[in-house]
A and B are shown apart, each in its own frame.
Chain A
Amino acid sequence: MNLADSERVSAVLEGMGYHKTDNEEEASLLGILACSVRQKPIDKVYNKIAQWNRWKDKRNLITFVSGCLLPADKDKFLKTFDLIFQMSELGQLPDMIREYGVVTPAGLKMRQPIMPKNEHIAAMWNIKPKYQSTYEAYVPIQNGCDKFCTFCAVPYTRGREVSRPSQEIVDEVRHLVNQGYKSITLLGQNVNSYGLDKNGEEITFAQLLRQIGEYGNTSDQEFWVYFTSPHPQDMNREVIEMIANYACLAKQIHLPMQSGDERVLLKMNRRHSMEKYRSIVEDIRELIPQATLFTDIIVGFTGEGEAEFQNTTAAFEEFKFNMAYIAMYSPRPGAASFRWEDEVSSDDKKDRLHRLSQTMKVYSLEYNKTLEGKTMRVLINGTDRKTGFMTGINEGRIIVRLDHHDDSLMGKIISVKITDAAFLSLSGEVVPA
């Protein structure tokens, strides 16, 4: 969500005449968009603002913080940041900056209810984002979360699930495709709960995918539409059928599992069983056998002993994930689990992270090896720092490295023959058009 948020913040600031810089030391306005799930990024905020406030002695500087902020964080940040606002209040940022005037560390607090108001969220969506890329874009389709996973503070920072009108989403996708965007990611905390908050007055997530898919069928552009993150509770066969049926819906599914142990899943209040997760993966394998499967995992959550961790490892062996974003559990103030003892030692967490990463590598490599010799479409999206050669991603979001450089190919989808496979990436050569 932070990427989509930052594109909208950029749009607002550029509308005020600010220009983006990668150099903090020359900036006159510096801001942070915070995260709700892990505490570490919040800790980094404190380090950053201490440095920025030292710079204020030497130059005129306004600082702000937004994103997923707990009321408790806000109270602390008030003492250090000049501006604090919820993303739903983004439309008021220009007024805040104008009214702020002279820079002091006094801070600015808005009186507001604990939860953001729906009309403010709608106003945020109407801000035309300043896309940071000319070929990859993120489209928010939903704000907030109703799931109350015990490790996460999103329901307390972004409020309950609110779906963006489907017409706006389809229009934004269409606009992006017409602008030449090749990779479009639909964003939300639980994308597949899309529409459910409207009690029948909005289409479902599967129907939204169908509309985008139908548009894709009429477009002469090649593009891939992804979504993240779905929650297993609301994932259904209809969504998977849509992905299978429409070419523009990317054959890659990111399905957070968090743990492979039933007891830990209950403790996390994930609201899905392993049986449910397994049935979704079986549907994916049946309907879209070529799809890559990504997941999120938290190791070292309260209540995860070695036996529970072994169940997660066994799930990796069963589902053979292509990629897993594995995080060591860190208690986040505001999340329910913060009240519990963080009983798994840091060493054990590191050990489990390492072991699970090794398991993932085995299956990732096994899959990547099956791609050797094949020709596939690859979106060129970067340059390898060491070699200077191009890199890209295939439709399944596996990194592809090329022994080639041609600036004109940046942001284009081209054909590549895979020559070699490593555990997290592929190597290939450009197939002449």
Chain B
Amino acid sequence: MELASTRELVLTWAARSVRVRYQQSVLGGLWAVLQPAATVVIFNIIFTYFVPVDTGGIPYVLFSYVAMVPWTFFSASITDMTDSLVSNMNLVSKIYFPRTMLPVAALLARMVDFGIAACLIVVLIIIYRWPVNVAGLLFIPAILAVQLALALGLGFMGAALNVFYRDVRHVITLALQLWFYATPIIYPVSTVPERFRPYYFMNPMAGVIEAFRDVILYQRLPGVYLAISGGVALVVLIVGYLFFRRVEFQFADVV
């Protein structure tokens, strides 16, 4: 299949997934905001009143929502990509199309939610009158690219493995739960003991989330950890893609 029609297929399929997700729901796209917002409200109560966390003067809601939105995107996109082949079994086993289409479209469909949820970041910044550094904001596409590469690599791997072993989706769910706490979403990096930091930033999502905070909240440019995350993400993407392509010929027979 030619590239142009594959691109159209990915877009059509992603649009279909978004449309289907919110069809017959009253709130529709609002759910994309409600999910991270509700979590942030809970964490705000806990970490402002019960166990106060020092955010360096940033309102906790703003502090955690800025991190929660990309994390929710990351976590939901990996879950959806992992399920993308198995939940479209009848398609995979009946019609030929480039198999990479399904995970890529799942990622794009989640990106729509991400875009909607990100609007609330802008609203919060305005409400709290938080100062913004335009030079830093120019890095957002780069940070996002690192996150997308990482998600895509893991998603390819997860989707392909899930075809053969249904355990994979449970492993992914569990891993994402643990990963959440290993990433500076509800607490600042400053609470991580200095001697743990080098290991801490081996988690590529730590670099990504911290970079989002840098450019949106701290008015500074991302640190070197974003480069580390970028390197890891690139390796994961290449390995994930090659693995997917290597085993895809068996999908229709195994699924």
A and B interact physically: no
B residues near A (Cβ < 8 Å) are none
A residues near B (Cβ < 8 Å) are none
